[in-house]
A = this chain, B = another copy of it.
């Protein structure tokens, strides 16, 4: 797993970049692009409440120069088990301490990153791409187990055992360039790379005009990030 920058040898190579339309994945796309990858952006219509993020993803993929953008349908809401797909209430107004106390909140979607990475892997293998980027972050995050480095490294190992390419000398690399950054580091990095954060949507449940609720964990972490980075927060809150 790479968490740093790529060397020049990897220029002009292809990468699949998971893109939710949020702050982290948009920054990740900008990083992949800045390292010279031709980026195949992949978003999921997985039954999430927040469908506006898919429109954001589309605009961001275009703005950041992705080679192509696919929205893949996979209805995880069929299984339930998450506030993000309609089961129960989204936690709001939690303190920073509560958010980062290591517990897993109701917004956790069962096995989401395992599913998303596996579909990214299927696309990468079909494309002949050996690089997959994912914007997971294990510092200013909600405690999801599938956002940790240990998980990403294990997925990479599994991918290289379970694919033609991985077992025949062209191993996959899963890049998680944000995993050890704070939210403010991420915002500073993305701002330098020209990410327009007004296009990104972090909120778990924005209103119909796309305005963020300002109270869910994602909004609270985002607000904190801009504050600590000393950069004006361009988010439209209700």
Residues of B within 8 A of A73 (CB): 73-75
Identity of the chain B residue whose Cβ is nearest the Cβ of A114 in the assembled complex: B118
Could you say which residues of chain B place their CB within 8 Å of the CB of A113?
A: 162
- Which of A49-57, A78-86, A90-98, A216-224 is found at the contact surface with chain B? A78-86
Q: Is the CB of A162 within 8 A of B81?
A: no
- A238 close to chain B: CB less than 8 A: no
Q: How far is the CA of A116 from the CA of B108 in the complex (A)?
A: 20
Contacts of A111 in B (CB 8 A): 118-119, 121-122, 125, 159, 162-163
Which interface class (under 10, 10 to 19, 20 to 34, 35 or more) fits A?
35 or more
Asked whether A2 is an interface residue with its Cβ less than 8 Å from the other chain, the reply is no
Closest chain-B Cβ to A38's Cβ sits at a distance in Å of: 16
Asked whether, in the complex, the Cβ of A145 is within 8 Å of the Cβ of B161, the reply is: yes
CB-CB nearest 7 A-B residue pairs: A81-B126, A110-B125, A146-B162, A111-B122, A79-B126, A154-B158, A151-B161
